[in-house]
Structure 1
Amino acid sequence: MTLAERLAHYATELKYEALPQEAIHEAKRRIIDSIACAFGAWRSETAQQVRTVATQVSSPYGATVLGTAHKASPDWAAFANGLLIRYLDYNDTYLSKEPAHPSDNLAAVLAVAEAEGSSGKETLLATVLAYEIQCRLCDSASLRARGWDHVNYGLFSASAAASRLMGLDATATRHAMSIAGVSGLAMRQTRVGEISAWKGCAFANSSRHAVFASWLAKYGLTGPSEIFEGKMGFMKQVSGEFTVGALGGEEGRGFMINETYIKYYPVEYHAQSAVWAALAMREQIGGDISQIERIEIDTFEACYSIIGSEPEKWRPQSRETADHSLPYIVGATLMDGKVDLDTFDEARYTDPALLELVSRITVRHDTAMDARYPEGIPNRIMLHLKDGRTLTEENTFPRGHARNPMSDEEVEAKFYVLTEWALPRARQDEALQFVWNLDAQPTIAPLMELLRVE
């Protein structure tokens, strides 16, 4: 059996009754968190650009462009809503050989669930399924090391989830995964150097491909054979050879959704621990940054390579570069005593005083920290003060990490803050209650109505 055949059989045979309560509960938390992130991004220029295009597409087999009454085709709804979920770099994360943001899958899940009239239980099952496949692939091989983007694994996870919601059998599901995989590959250049608005669109585009592929497979279109193992397949061209071990529910294994992390701060995940360390250091100096002569940050390879090594990180020219810059994030935290959406406004990331502080930051790759990743994300900050003292603070398991998870109340608080501009409190409460009781809902259509921006 090929890997695509195995994953397709798993996708069609997994039963809701096999899901443990903790996986179901976590799926609800991730839907709440993703909606919050989407509303936080809704007014951005990039979101408006994408929404302008998506709302020009209408379909009787439709799914809501979040926040509107418009129903686009489900592939376009997945693209528009996927951009919203991802744009702020505030949605969840999984760290392994290949880091990922598995809640990116939810744009495809929600779009197809709405178009198909799927129940809440079916939506939750598809969510857990998508997380399972993407995270197990992330455990299997690094794409970043070979110049490919992490969103490529999402082609397979999102198409498996979409196919399940469409009621495809294992053969059609395999074809959907093959069509998505062969046609939708994304290069890592998206996240190198000065980062553009496409960063937030990258997985959204994978979701669009995945839904489109599943939709075609639903009506009988076939895809290439041996998408993973073939002579010109994924393993030969993209990932290198790998195997996937037991999946959730097999051989007593738990489900991967419970091993992923919700973000407490709107920054690239490897910087979360650095934010907590910087806040602790700021408290030690009483908030007086005039005492600081220079700053050193020691970190592990993935953090150094992704957000701490390129010269663009010291003078970001875009929001996307700023939220992927370890020196900028640490500098802003030390200066402002907080990190929020305003941290990444153009006026803030171009502020001369802040950039002067950032210029005094050095980031180093400490190879001794590599062994502690991905179980943890160790960052060590050293403040060298003008009076000759050196202060040191280290953090490995920031709030939101699987070893230090956010509470339901904290997830709700994030939802309230990010949606308050758009939804009156009564509708915020209704939307939360709808998701907390999603397993009892016959469809998700009422949720889309509750989330409409008036």
Structure 2
Amino acid sequence: MNTSASVVEQLGNWASTMTWNDLSPAVRLALKGRVLDAVGCAVGALSARPITSIGQLADELGGEPLATCIGGSKTAPDRAAFVNGSAIRYLDFNDSYLAKGETCHPSDNIAPVLAAAEYARTSGREFLVALAIAYQVQCRLSDVAPVRRRGFDHTVQGAYGAAAGAARAMGLPALQIANAVAISGTSYNSLRVTRTGELSNWKGLAYPNMAMGAVHAALLAKYGISGPREVFEGNKGFMDAIAGKFDIDWAKEDLEKVTQTITKRYNAEIHSQSAIEGLLELRDNVGLKAEDIEWIRLATFDVAFDIIGGGEEGDKRSVHTKEEADHSLPYLLAVACLDGQVMPEQYLSERIVREDVQKLLRKVNVYPTKTYTDQFPQFMSCKIDVETRDGQRFQLEKRDYQGFRTRPATWRLLLNKYMSLTNHVDDALRTKIADVIFHLDEVQVTELTDLLGQIRISDGKYLRS
């Protein structure tokens, strides 16, 4: 029997030793900001048809009332992770992490870690430590083991992070954390077709589904179920079958990755943010009118082109659904020019199919350049070039946007975004939720989840199908 620690056992040892004192002040504030941002995104999506359908399914299935569904009832923690994760992810408005070969949304880990923490009745501090672990694991694996070009989804790395965070939130010891991660990592290797071609509801539900499994894996580990101890390095393991060889010394890892994540200013796929900000600046600076536009050309980096510009992941000018719209640079630039914003209202079905935006998006041409590709992910560079029907040309170059690492969103900016997404909720309640999140290290996690369970939607104006 091999007595040396496997890679997943090293990860488990590291995760079990992290404490509140290992979180720098910047990490603590960033974690609270990501929780606030994610809760706002979830509340803004509660009236969307897929989210209401998932809530109805959870109510029908029932389950021990051990974890809270945002704006709803209580259920088993793995099911709560799916319900809340779906709401957080649905708007496609939550944070992102940019690695050279992978982009992920690590705040997707909030739902499974929160469900596990509520189940364990742990403190807000322990929840934040566990969440930092989930962020670190997913982001570091995205750095060294990208899988997108191999045909797999970014939820693959998330299976390791979500399980590590959920297991730590439950207070499991090192070996059980390792087993949870091994079970989850072995089991949830989603295909990239989730985000290519004609997009479906699954684009926003693939990670919540995996997160539900990650919480279940942590529960299994808690009850003594073991997983493959060589999930990373073993025969037909993650390295051998999917990612290729890589090295991480988990004993030397810190918890700083959350400070390198970025938040969204606009309700759109992350790689579009600088382009949207640039087009809106150009629109306002020169008084650009959509009806006068002959064409819009966007020079961008290869990842943006491949995922949302019409590159390797398919045509982006056939746009009929919310999922297709928020992953289409032609649609996003067209609707931004027409409406002066990209928020949840821009994804109403009647807005997506209207003739003005469908006509204008066909005048948008997106192409990659080596210069901007080489600058990514340190910058999110692009150049917007617009010609009007009378022959005038207007250009603007961008390298970042408000919310990027070079211009990070402050707590105040995130609070303003949260308030705009929750303006259909009782004002005293939403203010109290934000205050508890800011002081989460001083309270039990149930103080937050109890408030989230009280949310009721009085105006379902967003995203009805």
2:78 alignment partner, one of 68, 75, 80: 75
- Is 1:153 paired with 2:161? no
Superposed CA deviations along residues 109-133 of structure 1, whole A, max 9, x for unmatched, are: 1111111101111111111111111
- Is 1:391 paired with 2:422? no
- Is 1:260 paired with 2:264? no
Indicate the RMSD between aligned Cα atoms, in angstroms. 1.5
Output the CA distance in 2 between the equivalents of 1:66 and 1:95.
28
2:409 alignment partner, one of 380, 401, 406: 406
Q: Is the 8 A contact 2:266 2:341 kept in 1?
A: no
Which structure 2 residues correspond to residues 352-431 of structure 1 after superposition, within 5 A? Answer: 352-421=355-424, 423-431=425-433
Residue identity matched to 1:205? N
Which structure 2 residues correspond to residues 282-293 of structure 1 after superposition, within 5 A? Answer: 282-293=283-294
Output the CA distance in 1 between the equivalents of 2:448 and 2:406.
35
1:280 is matched with which residue?
Answer: 281
Q: Is the 8 A contact 2:37 2:414 kept in 1?
A: yes
Output the CA distance in 2 between the equivalents of 1:443 and 1:242.
36
1:177 is matched with which residue?
Answer: 181
Output the CA distance in 1 between the equivalents of 2:331 and 2:450.
37
Q: Is the 8 A contact 2:138 2:161 kept in 1?
A: yes
Output the CA distance in 1 between the equivalents of 2:116 and 2:384.
45
Which SS does the other structure have where 1:405 is aligned?
coil
- Is 1:126 paired with 2:127? no
Output the CA distance in 2 between the equivalents of 1:95 and 1:446.
29
Output the CA distance in 2 between the equivalents of 1:98 and 1:66.
29
Superposed CA deviations along residues 282-320 of structure 1, whole A, max 9, x for unmatched, are: 124313223321111111110000001156411212101
Q: Which segment drifts farther, 317-326 or 335-344?
A: 335-344
Q: Which segment drifts farther, 59-68 or 150-159?
A: 59-68
Which structure 2 residues correspond to residues 206-217 of structure 1 after superposition, within 5 A? Answer: 206-217=210-221
Q: Which segment drifts farther, 193-202 or 282-291?
A: 282-291
Q: Is the 8 A contact 1:67 1:448 kept in 2?
A: no
Output the CA distance in 2 between the equivalents of 1:341 and 1:94.
22
Shift of 1:254: 6.1
Q: Is the 8 A contact 1:37 1:91 kept in 2?
A: yes
Output the CA distance in 2 between the equivalents of 1:78 and 1:377.
32
Which SS does the other structure have where 2:226 is aligned?
coil
1:53 alignment partner, one of 51, 57, 60: 57
1:33 is matched with which residue?
Answer: 37
Superposed CA deviations along residues 58-91 of structure 1, whole A, max 9, x for unmatched, are: 34461111111x2111101000100000000000
Contiguous gaps of at least 5 residues in structure 2: 457-465
2:309 is matched with which residue?
Answer: 308
Superposed CA deviations along residues 118-170 of structure 1, whole A, max 9, x for unmatched, are: 11111111111111111111111221010000011111101111111222111
1:135 is matched with which residue?
Answer: 139
Residue identity matched to 1:296? R
Residue identity matched to 1:418? L
**Count of paired positions:** 449
Which structure 2 residues correspond to residues 332-347 of structure 1 after superposition, within 5 A? Answer: 332-347=335-350
Residue identity matched to 2:193? Q
- Is 1:14 paired with 2:18? yes
Shift of 1:446: 4.6
1:99 alignment partner, one of 98, 103, 107: 103
2:462 is matched with which residue?
Answer: none
Q: Is the 8 A contact 2:113 2:127 kept in 1?
A: yes
Q: Is the 8 A contact 1:57 1:73 kept in 2?
A: no
Which SS does the other structure have where 2:233 is aligned?
coil
Q: Which segment drifts farther, 39-48 or 337-346?
A: 337-346
Output the CA distance in 1 between the equivalents of 2:250 and 2:14.
11
2:436 alignment partner, one of 434, 442, 446: 434
Contiguous gaps of at least 5 residues in structure 1: none
1:270 is matched with which residue?
Answer: 271
Which SS does the other structure have where 1:55 is aligned?
helix
Q: Is the 8 A contact 1:266 1:340 kept in 2?
A: yes
Which SS does the other structure have where 2:205 is aligned?
helix
Residue identity matched to 1:66? I
Shift of 1:20: 0.8
Distance change >3 Å, CA 446–CA 14, structure 1 → 2: closer
Residue identity matched to 2:248? V
Q: Is the 8 A contact 2:8 2:181 kept in 1?
A: yes
Q: Is the 8 A contact 1:8 1:160 kept in 2?
A: yes
Superposed CA deviations along residues 297-346 of structure 1, whole A, max 9, x for unmatched, are: 11111000000115641121210110000111011111211111111111
Shift of 1:12: 0.5
Superposed CA deviations along residues 389-415 of structure 1, whole A, max 9, x for unmatched, are: 321112221111111011211111111
Shift of 1:18: 1.6
Residue identity matched to 1:50? I
- Percent of aligned pairs sharing the same letter: 34
Output the CA distance in 1 between the equivalents of 2:67 and 2:223.
19
Residue identity matched to 2:132? V
The alignment's TM-score, normalised by the length of structure 2, stands at: 0.93
1:235 alignment partner, one of 227, 239, 249: 239
Which SS does the other structure have where 2:28 is aligned?
helix
2:295 is matched with which residue?
Answer: 294
Output the CA distance in 2 between the equivalents of 1:244 and 1:54.
38
Output the CA distance in 2 between the equivalents of 1:93 and 1:130.
14
